[in-house]
Amino acid sequence: MIVVAGILLLVLLVNILPDRREESDEEALPYLLEAHVAKGSLLVGRSVVDNKLRALKQLYLVELERSGICICPVPPQLVLQADDVLRFSGAVESVELLHQFDGLDWFGKHQAKGQNLVEAVLAPSSSLVGNSLKVSRFREQFDAAVMAIRRGNHPLKGGLGDIILQPGDVLLLTPGDSFSANPKLSSEFAAVSGLDLNVRLDNHRGRWVLLGFAAVIVLSVTGVLPLAKGLVLLLLGYFAIGAVTLAELKRRFPLELVVIVGSALGLANLMMSTGLADSLAQGLLSVINGYGVFGAFVGVYLMTLLLTELVTNNAAAALSFPIAYAIALNYGVDARPFIMAVVFGASASFISPTVIRPI
Protein backbone atom coordinates (compact mmCIF):
# COMPACT_ATOMS: atom_id res chain seq x y z
CA MET A 1 0.00 0.00 0.00
CA ILE A 2 2.84 2.40 0.81
CA VAL A 3 4.49 1.73 -2.57
CA VAL A 4 1.21 2.27 -4.44
CA ALA A 5 0.57 5.51 -2.53
CA GLY A 6 4.09 6.74 -3.30
CA ILE A 7 3.69 6.02 -7.04
CA LEU A 8 0.34 7.82 -7.14
CA LEU A 9 1.86 10.81 -5.36
CA LEU A 10 4.70 11.02 -7.89
CA VAL A 11 2.25 10.82 -10.79
CA LEU A 12 0.19 13.68 -9.35
CA LEU A 13 3.23 15.87 -8.62
CA VAL A 14 5.23 15.15 -11.79
CA ASN A 15 4.16 18.37 -13.51
CA ILE A 16 5.10 20.67 -10.63
CA LEU A 17 8.42 19.10 -9.62
CA PRO A 18 11.47 21.15 -10.72
CA ASP A 19 13.36 19.85 -13.75
CA ARG A 20 16.95 19.80 -12.47
CA ARG A 21 18.16 18.30 -15.73
CA GLU A 22 17.14 21.35 -17.74
CA GLU A 23 18.83 23.65 -15.24
CA SER A 24 22.11 21.75 -15.56
CA ASP A 25 21.82 21.88 -19.35
CA GLU A 26 21.64 25.65 -19.30
CA GLU A 27 24.78 25.87 -17.22
CA ALA A 28 26.76 23.54 -19.50
CA LEU A 29 30.02 25.11 -20.63
CA PRO A 30 30.52 25.26 -24.42
CA TYR A 31 33.26 23.13 -25.94
CA LEU A 32 34.24 23.48 -29.57
CA LEU A 33 34.32 20.14 -31.38
CA GLU A 34 35.31 19.55 -34.99
CA ALA A 35 34.31 16.66 -37.23
CA HIS A 36 35.07 15.70 -40.84
CA VAL A 37 32.62 14.08 -43.27
CA ALA A 38 34.43 11.12 -44.79
CA LYS A 39 34.05 9.98 -48.38
CA GLY A 40 31.38 7.31 -48.70
CA SER A 41 29.62 8.51 -45.55
CA LEU A 42 25.86 8.07 -45.37
CA LEU A 43 25.66 11.77 -44.50
CA VAL A 44 26.73 12.78 -48.01
CA GLY A 45 23.91 13.89 -50.29
CA ARG A 46 21.49 14.58 -47.45
CA SER A 47 20.62 17.88 -45.83
CA VAL A 48 21.53 18.96 -42.31
CA VAL A 49 17.93 18.46 -41.20
CA ASP A 50 17.62 15.03 -42.82
CA ASN A 51 20.81 13.92 -41.04
CA LYS A 52 19.31 15.17 -37.73
CA LEU A 53 22.37 17.30 -37.05
CA ARG A 54 20.18 20.07 -35.64
CA ALA A 55 18.39 17.80 -33.15
CA LEU A 56 21.37 16.88 -30.95
CA LYS A 57 20.93 17.38 -27.23
CA GLN A 58 23.40 19.91 -25.77
CA LEU A 59 25.34 19.98 -29.05
CA TYR A 60 24.81 22.62 -31.72
CA LEU A 61 26.13 22.82 -35.29
CA VAL A 62 27.54 26.35 -35.41
CA GLU A 63 29.71 26.31 -38.52
CA LEU A 64 30.44 24.37 -41.69
CA GLU A 65 33.62 24.73 -43.74
CA ARG A 66 33.66 23.67 -47.38
CA SER A 67 36.67 24.19 -49.66
CA GLY A 68 38.07 26.78 -47.27
CA ILE A 69 34.80 28.76 -47.10
CA CYS A 70 33.06 28.99 -43.71
CA ILE A 71 29.27 28.92 -43.65
CA CYS A 72 27.78 30.36 -40.46
CA PRO A 73 24.99 29.96 -39.53
CA VAL A 74 24.44 26.65 -41.27
CA PRO A 75 21.19 26.56 -43.32
CA PRO A 76 18.97 23.62 -42.32
CA GLN A 77 18.48 22.55 -45.96
CA LEU A 78 22.19 22.63 -46.84
CA VAL A 79 23.21 19.33 -48.45
CA LEU A 80 26.40 17.83 -47.02
CA GLN A 81 29.32 16.85 -49.23
CA ALA A 82 32.40 14.72 -48.68
CA ASP A 83 35.28 16.51 -46.91
CA ASP A 84 32.93 19.01 -45.25
CA VAL A 85 34.18 20.13 -41.84
CA LEU A 86 31.48 20.46 -39.18
CA ARG A 87 32.05 22.45 -36.01
CA PHE A 88 29.86 21.91 -32.97
CA SER A 89 29.51 23.80 -29.71
CA GLY A 90 28.14 22.15 -26.60
CA ALA A 91 28.64 20.16 -23.42
CA VAL A 92 31.41 17.62 -22.99
CA GLU A 93 28.86 14.87 -22.30
CA SER A 94 27.59 15.24 -25.87
CA VAL A 95 30.78 13.91 -27.46
CA GLU A 96 29.23 10.45 -27.35
CA LEU A 97 26.44 11.63 -29.69
CA LEU A 98 28.85 11.87 -32.62
CA HIS A 99 29.22 8.07 -32.64
CA GLN A 100 25.75 7.62 -34.10
CA PHE A 101 26.72 9.21 -37.42
CA ASP A 102 28.30 6.93 -39.99
CA GLY A 103 31.41 8.33 -41.62
CA LEU A 104 31.81 11.30 -39.27
CA ASP A 105 35.43 11.46 -38.12
CA TRP A 106 36.12 13.79 -35.21
CA PHE A 107 39.41 14.85 -33.66
CA GLY A 108 40.84 12.09 -31.47
CA LYS A 109 38.48 9.38 -32.74
CA HIS A 110 41.23 7.14 -34.11
CA GLN A 111 43.23 7.38 -30.87
CA ALA A 112 40.20 6.63 -28.70
CA LYS A 113 40.26 3.10 -27.30
CA GLY A 114 37.36 3.33 -24.87
CA GLN A 115 39.51 5.07 -22.25
CA ASN A 116 38.31 7.84 -19.99
CA LEU A 117 38.76 11.39 -21.26
CA VAL A 118 41.00 13.96 -19.59
CA GLU A 119 40.58 17.70 -19.05
CA ALA A 120 43.77 19.80 -19.04
CA VAL A 121 43.84 23.51 -18.10
CA LEU A 122 46.52 25.52 -19.88
CA ALA A 123 48.95 27.23 -17.48
CA PRO A 124 49.86 30.93 -17.99
CA SER A 125 53.54 30.00 -18.37
CA SER A 126 52.87 27.21 -20.85
CA SER A 127 54.87 27.18 -24.07
CA LEU A 128 51.61 26.39 -25.88
CA VAL A 129 50.19 29.86 -25.15
CA GLY A 130 50.18 31.97 -28.31
CA ASN A 131 50.46 28.94 -30.58
CA SER A 132 47.90 26.72 -32.27
CA LEU A 133 47.64 22.95 -31.87
CA LYS A 134 49.08 22.44 -35.35
CA VAL A 135 52.07 24.70 -34.81
CA SER A 136 52.88 23.26 -31.39
CA ARG A 137 52.52 19.64 -32.64
CA PHE A 138 50.48 18.84 -29.57
CA ARG A 139 49.87 15.16 -30.32
CA GLU A 140 53.54 14.42 -30.86
CA GLN A 141 54.55 16.28 -27.68
CA PHE A 142 52.05 14.74 -25.26
CA ASP A 143 50.78 11.54 -26.89
CA ALA A 144 47.22 12.85 -26.66
CA ALA A 145 44.65 14.03 -29.19
CA VAL A 146 42.62 17.18 -28.51
CA MET A 147 38.95 16.42 -29.01
CA ALA A 148 37.58 19.82 -27.97
CA ILE A 149 38.57 23.21 -26.55
CA ARG A 150 36.70 25.44 -24.09
CA ARG A 151 37.42 29.04 -23.18
CA GLY A 152 35.24 29.99 -20.24
CA ASN A 153 31.64 30.67 -21.28
CA HIS A 154 32.62 32.16 -24.63
CA PRO A 155 31.80 30.01 -27.68
CA LEU A 156 34.80 29.53 -29.96
CA LYS A 157 34.80 29.60 -33.75
CA GLY A 158 37.25 28.55 -36.41
CA GLY A 159 39.28 25.42 -36.99
CA LEU A 160 40.13 23.43 -33.89
CA GLY A 161 43.76 23.08 -34.92
CA ASP A 162 44.09 26.77 -35.83
CA ILE A 163 42.79 28.36 -32.61
CA ILE A 164 45.48 30.39 -30.85
CA LEU A 165 45.64 29.01 -27.32
CA GLN A 166 45.35 31.28 -24.30
CA PRO A 167 46.00 30.77 -20.55
CA GLY A 168 43.07 29.05 -18.88
CA ASP A 169 41.90 27.25 -22.01
CA VAL A 170 40.53 23.81 -21.19
CA LEU A 171 41.52 21.00 -23.55
CA LEU A 172 39.49 17.80 -23.72
CA LEU A 173 41.95 14.99 -24.47
CA THR A 174 41.97 11.35 -25.43
CA PRO A 175 45.26 10.32 -23.78
CA GLY A 176 47.72 7.79 -25.10
CA ASP A 177 49.61 5.23 -23.04
CA SER A 178 52.53 7.56 -22.23
CA PHE A 179 50.50 10.71 -21.56
CA SER A 180 50.40 10.42 -17.75
CA ALA A 181 54.19 9.86 -17.57
CA ASN A 182 55.05 12.95 -19.63
CA PRO A 183 57.35 15.22 -17.56
CA LYS A 184 55.94 18.35 -19.23
CA LEU A 185 52.47 18.00 -17.69
CA SER A 186 53.28 19.90 -14.49
CA SER A 187 54.81 22.85 -16.31
CA GLU A 188 52.44 23.12 -19.26
CA PHE A 189 49.11 22.62 -17.46
CA ALA A 190 47.71 24.20 -14.31
CA ALA A 191 45.51 21.17 -13.70
CA VAL A 192 44.94 17.77 -15.28
CA SER A 193 41.93 15.77 -14.20
CA GLY A 194 40.11 12.70 -15.43
CA LEU A 195 36.43 12.72 -16.31
CA ASP A 196 33.83 10.09 -15.54
CA LEU A 197 33.22 9.96 -19.25
CA ASN A 198 34.71 7.75 -21.91
CA VAL A 199 34.45 7.23 -25.62
CA ARG A 200 33.40 4.08 -27.39
CA LEU A 201 35.79 1.60 -28.85
CA ASP A 202 36.06 1.65 -32.61
CA ASN A 203 33.87 -0.84 -34.47
CA HIS A 204 36.71 -3.33 -35.04
CA ARG A 205 37.70 -3.56 -31.38
CA GLY A 206 34.06 -3.44 -30.27
CA ARG A 207 33.20 -6.53 -32.33
CA TRP A 208 36.17 -8.44 -30.89
CA VAL A 209 35.19 -7.47 -27.34
CA LEU A 210 31.60 -8.73 -27.80
CA LEU A 211 32.67 -11.91 -29.60
CA GLY A 212 35.27 -12.69 -26.93
CA PHE A 213 32.80 -12.21 -24.10
CA ALA A 214 30.16 -14.35 -25.84
CA ALA A 215 32.74 -17.09 -26.50
CA VAL A 216 33.76 -17.21 -22.83
CA ILE A 217 30.12 -17.52 -21.73
CA VAL A 218 29.40 -20.28 -24.26
CA LEU A 219 32.54 -22.24 -23.29
CA SER A 220 31.62 -21.92 -19.61
CA VAL A 221 28.02 -23.07 -20.11
CA THR A 222 29.10 -26.05 -22.19
CA GLY A 223 31.72 -27.03 -19.62
CA VAL A 224 34.66 -26.72 -22.01
CA LEU A 225 36.41 -23.97 -20.02
CA PRO A 226 35.83 -22.83 -16.41
CA LEU A 227 34.43 -19.32 -16.18
CA ALA A 228 37.29 -18.00 -14.00
CA LYS A 229 39.97 -19.18 -16.42
CA GLY A 230 37.97 -17.94 -19.37
CA LEU A 231 37.67 -14.44 -17.90
CA VAL A 232 41.42 -14.32 -17.25
CA LEU A 233 42.10 -15.27 -20.86
CA LEU A 234 39.53 -12.72 -22.00
CA LEU A 235 41.25 -9.98 -20.01
CA LEU A 236 44.60 -10.89 -21.57
CA GLY A 237 42.95 -10.74 -24.98
CA TYR A 238 41.58 -7.28 -24.23
CA PHE A 239 45.11 -6.17 -23.37
CA ALA A 240 46.38 -7.61 -26.66
CA ILE A 241 43.89 -5.69 -28.84
CA GLY A 242 44.20 -2.47 -26.81
CA ALA A 243 40.63 -2.50 -25.50
CA VAL A 244 41.93 -2.23 -21.91
CA THR A 245 45.02 -0.46 -20.66
CA LEU A 246 46.97 -1.09 -17.47
CA ALA A 247 46.18 2.42 -16.22
CA GLU A 248 42.45 1.84 -16.73
CA LEU A 249 42.66 -1.51 -14.93
CA LYS A 250 44.38 0.08 -11.95
CA ARG A 251 41.74 2.81 -11.83
CA ARG A 252 38.83 0.36 -11.97
CA PHE A 253 40.35 -2.19 -9.55
CA PRO A 254 42.36 -0.48 -6.79
CA LEU A 255 45.26 -2.73 -5.81
CA GLU A 256 45.06 -1.69 -2.15
CA LEU A 257 41.45 -2.88 -1.87
CA VAL A 258 42.28 -6.20 -3.53
CA VAL A 259 45.13 -6.81 -1.07
CA ILE A 260 42.96 -5.95 1.97
CA VAL A 261 40.03 -8.15 0.92
CA GLY A 262 42.31 -10.99 -0.20
CA SER A 263 44.20 -10.93 3.10
CA ALA A 264 40.95 -10.88 5.06
CA LEU A 265 39.60 -13.86 3.12
CA GLY A 266 42.83 -15.76 3.69
CA LEU A 267 42.65 -15.02 7.41
CA ALA A 268 39.02 -16.14 7.49
CA ASN A 269 39.98 -19.43 5.86
CA LEU A 270 42.69 -19.98 8.47
CA MET A 271 40.19 -19.21 11.25
CA MET A 272 37.88 -21.95 10.01
CA SER A 273 40.61 -24.54 9.34
CA THR A 274 42.41 -24.07 12.67
CA GLY A 275 39.25 -24.03 14.80
CA LEU A 276 39.72 -20.42 15.88
CA ALA A 277 36.32 -19.52 14.43
CA ASP A 278 34.66 -22.17 16.61
CA SER A 279 36.49 -20.87 19.70
CA LEU A 280 35.43 -17.29 19.01
CA ALA A 281 31.88 -18.45 18.35
CA GLN A 282 31.81 -20.26 21.71
CA GLY A 283 33.12 -17.12 23.39
CA LEU A 284 30.34 -15.03 21.83
CA LEU A 285 27.75 -17.63 22.78
CA SER A 286 28.92 -17.51 26.42
CA VAL A 287 28.29 -13.76 26.45
CA ILE A 288 24.76 -14.03 25.02
CA ASN A 289 23.93 -17.29 26.84
CA GLY A 290 20.24 -17.50 27.62
CA TYR A 291 19.02 -15.28 24.80
CA GLY A 292 18.65 -18.07 22.27
CA VAL A 293 19.01 -17.95 18.52
CA PHE A 294 17.65 -14.42 18.24
CA GLY A 295 20.17 -13.18 20.79
CA ALA A 296 22.99 -14.85 18.81
CA PHE A 297 21.67 -13.20 15.64
CA VAL A 298 21.78 -9.76 17.26
CA GLY A 299 25.20 -10.51 18.71
CA VAL A 300 26.62 -11.35 15.28
CA TYR A 301 25.27 -8.08 13.90
CA LEU A 302 26.76 -6.01 16.74
CA MET A 303 30.10 -7.82 16.48
CA THR A 304 30.31 -7.07 12.73
CA LEU A 305 29.28 -3.47 13.32
CA LEU A 306 32.10 -3.06 15.86
CA LEU A 307 34.63 -4.63 13.48
CA THR A 308 33.66 -2.37 10.59
CA GLU A 309 34.51 0.64 12.74
CA LEU A 310 38.05 -0.70 13.17
CA VAL A 311 38.76 -2.06 9.67
CA THR A 312 37.16 -1.76 6.23
CA ASN A 313 33.67 -3.14 5.68
CA ASN A 314 35.00 -5.81 3.30
CA ALA A 315 37.54 -7.03 5.85
CA ALA A 316 34.93 -6.94 8.64
CA ALA A 317 32.58 -9.11 6.60
CA ALA A 318 35.35 -11.60 5.79
CA LEU A 319 36.39 -11.89 9.45
CA SER A 320 32.85 -12.11 10.83
CA PHE A 321 31.58 -14.66 8.34
CA PRO A 322 33.31 -17.78 9.77
CA ILE A 323 32.21 -16.86 13.31
CA ALA A 324 28.61 -16.32 12.21
CA TYR A 325 28.66 -19.58 10.27
CA ALA A 326 30.02 -21.50 13.26
CA ILE A 327 27.29 -20.04 15.52
CA ALA A 328 24.59 -21.11 13.06
CA LEU A 329 25.99 -24.64 12.96
CA ASN A 330 26.12 -24.71 16.77
CA TYR A 331 22.40 -23.94 16.97
CA GLY A 332 21.56 -26.22 14.04
CA VAL A 333 19.72 -23.48 12.15
CA ASP A 334 19.90 -22.03 8.64
CA ALA A 335 23.07 -19.96 8.24
CA ARG A 336 21.59 -17.50 5.73
CA PRO A 337 20.02 -15.11 8.28
CA PHE A 338 23.37 -14.91 10.12
CA ILE A 339 25.16 -14.22 6.85
CA MET A 340 22.71 -11.39 6.15
CA ALA A 341 23.41 -10.01 9.63
CA VAL A 342 27.10 -9.92 8.70
CA VAL A 343 26.35 -8.18 5.39
CA PHE A 344 24.18 -5.48 6.95
CA GLY A 345 26.47 -5.02 9.94
CA ALA A 346 29.51 -4.53 7.70
CA SER A 347 27.64 -1.88 5.70
CA ALA A 348 26.26 0.07 8.67
CA SER A 349 29.32 2.08 9.69
CA PHE A 350 27.53 5.23 8.53
CA ILE A 351 25.32 5.16 11.65
CA SER A 352 28.25 6.09 13.90
CA PRO A 353 28.62 9.84 14.58
CA THR A 354 31.38 11.82 12.91
CA VAL A 355 33.25 14.33 15.05
CA ILE A 356 34.06 17.56 13.21
CA ARG A 357 36.95 19.37 14.83
CA PRO A 358 37.16 23.16 14.46
CA ILE A 359 40.17 24.48 12.56
pLDDT tens digits for 120-150? 899 888 889 988 888 888 888 888 888 888 8
Say yes or no: 264 and 346 in one domain: yes
* 263-306 confidence digits (pLDDT tens): 776 777 777 777 777 787 778 777 777 778 888 888 889 888 88
pLDDT, position 355: 43
Residues 225 and 274 in one domain: no
Q: Please name the helix (run of DSSP H) or strand (run of DSSP E) that holds residue 239, with its range, or none.
A: helix 227-241
Q: List the domain range (segments joined by +) for residue 318.
A: 255-351
Q: Is residue 22 part of a domain?
A: no
> Per-residue pLDDT tens for 94-111?
666 777 777 787 765 655
174 shares its domain with 32: yes
**Between the CA atoms of 161, 164, 165 and 170, what dihedral angle is there, to the nearest 10 degrees?**
-50
Q: Are residues 134 and 153 in the same domain?
A: yes
> pLDDT tens across 344-358, in order?
888 887 655 544 444
Establish if 145 belongs to a structural domain: yes
Give the chain's domain count: 3
Same domain (yes/no): 38, 152: yes
Domain edge (last residue) among 153, 181, 198? 198
170 and 125 part of one domain: yes
Residue 204 pLDDT grade (very low, low, confident, very high; cuts 50, 70, 90): low
Residue 143 lies in a domain: yes
Per-residue pLDDT for 20 more than 60?
no
Domain co-membership, 282 together with 154: no
Q: For residues 121 and 68, state if they share a domain.
A: yes
pLDDT tens-digit series, residues 307-342? 888 877 877 888 888 888 888 888 888 888 888 888
Stretch 74-93: mean pLDDT: 85
Residue 359 lies in a domain: no
Q: Are residues 214 and 113 in the same domain?
A: no
Q: Which residue would you say has higher pLDDT here, 206 or 35?
A: 35
Provide, rounded to the nearest whole percent, the portion of the chain with pLDDT above 70.
80
The answer on 266 and 228 residing in a single domain is no
Is the domain of 48 the same as that of 82? yes
- Give domain status of residue 21, yes or no: no
Whether residue 117 is contained in a domain is answered as yes
Q: What is the pLDDT of residue 26?
A: 43
| Per-chain mean pLDDT for the chain | 79
